[in-house]
Structure 1
């Protein structure tokens, strides 16, 4: 009865044994389908002409439908050898087999009375073939096989007996009994072989586990427990790991030995719960990390084990290996800390901020709330690093982190992204006022003075923020949009908080497209130089031209210099573009009269290039232009980033005989120290002062007079920019400026138009002669 699956004795794990039995059915489904379909076709051929074809076709369809139902269920048992099989599944498989048997008795019991004796014998032969094949091939499912053979046999016996053929009925009965007994014996042999095979595989797995663990040097001892989870056959190394004698450990519960005081209280560590659950479920486990308490100290063990069974298939406990991995665990925890925290400030780093923001966005989407991400950049921090060194800069960053942590509540997490960039994740930003309050508190707090190494330092902070999921559905999008808002805050002078707006993304996309087009503009020849004349204030004769860069892009049309020049400086494309401008301007200037100079604007990025002086020499040599006819124009901002390097480069250029003009004097970082250190050839007065002086603005008049007087005393020339009216010209002449530049004398013009000016002068002079 146990082999058939009718009963389950209590002295064995029959659920597991059933799994070993029925798992092989899935492999036999193709052969089963082929055999029954072939038998059905043979039956149809035998009965054709006697039984109506429609009945035969209907019967064949019923056979196929029943077969498909049984095959689909058999395939679901493919993994039964790796789990416990329920009795419900055994019964369902038996029902599908009985249903197939009931379909197969139709040709004998239903069609037989209307057929000849020869046809009945043919159908019985086909059924006997199916019975014999089922008893042999389906030993894995003995109950279904026995019932299948019994039903078909009884149908044959009854049909032959009712037809008066008692000999055939006796033969059918005898054959059915033999096939049924054969099925039982085949099932018993099959089950015994599977049990032996499983035991061998299990023992092989345990041996392989032991060998692998020891070969990898990870296992320090063997351990085993009985079915009641009590320690048995304690090895000396296992006893040493527990700090007790082997005799004292024998027979004690494993959990009690490693739980420490928590054994009495019942409050176990979660890892001990996992171990107890594995032992209770009799599941194999590998590299299970367990925190044990030995003599008041916490240790970490790594355990691996497999359940063992005796010769009768009865569960007999666990056997496995273990090792002490406390040091490795502590190292892993330290590595995990370093992976998520900044070593300088002890704040969460970019990885942890990203993880926290991801969790906040998930919660916001789940509960239909909002979260926020704030990016913080320190203003004027680079000046501290450059003047006082990185050691002081690092101390300043540590102080900044302390102030940030003091502002945080449980709803916020601050961290360092890198350099002087910090960030804050606000988990619940449903209250937008809280977002603005945090940003303003950060700006105010970080702007207070710092006392470091007897230095009083002042830095500010700019903040950009984005709200999720409104401003971005992913972590990357939200961080990018907060960065765009921070860029805007920095661009507007710093020390303020800007929130993300969709227009910022459009602006960033426009910058990206402009940068892409600019990288190919030189190759396409899209850049051109226009020249604005600079005239002598007294004679109104052209004395020089200022070369001005223009860009007519194939994708964007005419692009304003105010838009693409800052972008070129940010991307350092200004270096190759500036070299092209310099060479082109020198070549064009050779076509002008020998007394006319050309002025070329040079950015700070170019002056920081160590090879810029060599580029100037090469441009002069290639064009043949005299050095004194070239004037380099710079603004005061070039001295802010790295004044020493810029001054050194300019001095090398001046030693060649070139002039250096200081552009936009008085509008930005004006310092008389620049004038004392550098012998500029020209100081250019900004147009704002020119326009102010023309309307008798007292401050503008005073500034222009001071600049002219200072330039005269230092033997420097002055150029007034932006002169557009005759009144402005008269004012500038009266104040003493030597040269004038502006729309009053000419707008920037193409090279051919600039050359035409001199041709017209020459024609007028020849006509006067």
Structure 2
């Protein structure tokens, strides 16, 4: 029904162009010229018309509007207009059409769309209330303009301005806006937010070998995997190239953040299928948390960038939390890289060997080679200190080549029943000429290949499938023994175990770190690994075993071989020869080892808070569940302390054993991984609490902190104050 016919049937109704109540004008209704114009406009589709009764139910819709909605007039007449047309999210004042109609006031340019998603139509509605001569409300009359094409074009332009066109993730501009608005809002509400910086490892190789189209497909799959990990917990952005960013609101638990980072690294390191073939990449993650590491976007982003840089330099495929000493650490790392390069030329590296013992008869069956670096200035440098630097700088390749030749040479002087075992870095394995290096070392030394064992980390198996399979097949044909190292701590699929020619699965020390209520570690997982290796015809080797009760439990479960302090520490080649000279080499386990959680020897000054006193003590070693401290005399067992590790890291603990000036303490809440092989507290002193105590609201300074009275005894981390003998904020920053 055309609009003119509708008006002829409603001679007592006409929409006025003024805000005053509409008065019926018969002369207007009888004006054929005006109705003809209305008919022409309606038929052209440029403008549609609509009308409702006093209850907001449809009494008229132009045919063009009905066509765009995909509904005949008899299906819409009598239906509430607000059920057919709904406001577009983010447009106007956000109020519904129903509310507009209920106010009985004129409105203009309300953007609405069809409630049926199957019909994409966007209209701008204008409407005015209609009244009779007695000012009685008769309903609404109005017009509608179809702006679908213009609206969707503008919507797409806005989307492109805020989102990455390739992945659909937020772009750099939107992420900056989100971080700014989140930090501003959260600062007022005293809430926290975490920022993760992600960088893809080996992505350039994908572009170089498979082409940019494959790289684009891979980036799209990366975005999907990130959405799967993060879900609705935060916003994901692509900053450009292979750089990504994740903003996680209301998150300051570094235990949870570390688990999220591990999951991201794990998921992004799984193989990708693209049209040009199969691709493997990795991921490094840096994490900063507001307000602890920054309260403005620039400083929080810089902190996350520094943490990312540290994770990449640590060997890639890692995560790191921001710490105030990362800039200093970067300088030390550069110096160590230079010194490592010189040490290779100067021959400052040696090998030591830790015995691997068969649990059936305590016979030594292999020796695990360990790197030793004796530096003129640093003294003896632990492998866990310099090997990550060597991997990050690729110096591990020449160091590894030297170690393979050296180990083969020294193994020639041992009995033929004794194997030599070497860990192979992923960087080393992927380097050109690795297999040739093994072949050359065996040929030059004439060592029986069966006596050379290469321990491969799980990440090696996730490399280019054809290259990995070819290398493993060549090594297997040589007769070299291949073992999967640190099984269960990495990313490999069980399918690789069937495909790769492996002789043994090696369980790392991480399995034996105590979990709450179990001092031996995760024995259920150990049992599962033993069953798996047995089903596949492989041996099981456990490393890092330092306690007699753990060794006995592993023997009961069926582990074949063990290495660790429960049998012997690492020996020089000269000491190995001394043991061999005694005849058949067997080792009896000892109970001098202690498992607890794996101890990290640290020797550094920390703070100790007891009641209202703050003491400086020496941290001797550290584990997830406890530590050894030195510096206080005759402390009773059961005494509760708070240890201040610096930068707001406070840990409630109790004394479990004491001897003279040394105490062993147990933490009330276990420490968590810091991503760099170290440990950190889950939570830190809140800068909001410091601000409440009178300190300025800034990122955490490196000064000393103490807990409010009575909070230590309760284990509460809700209240803190600056220590009375703590340096001032200015002094703390200068000291840093």
TM-score (normalised: structure 2): 0.42
Greater Cα radius of gyration, structure 1 or 2:
1
Structure with the larger helix share:
1
Structure with the larger strand share:
2
Q: Which has the higher contact order (CA 8 A, sep 6+)?
A: 2
TM-score (normalised: structure 1): 0.40
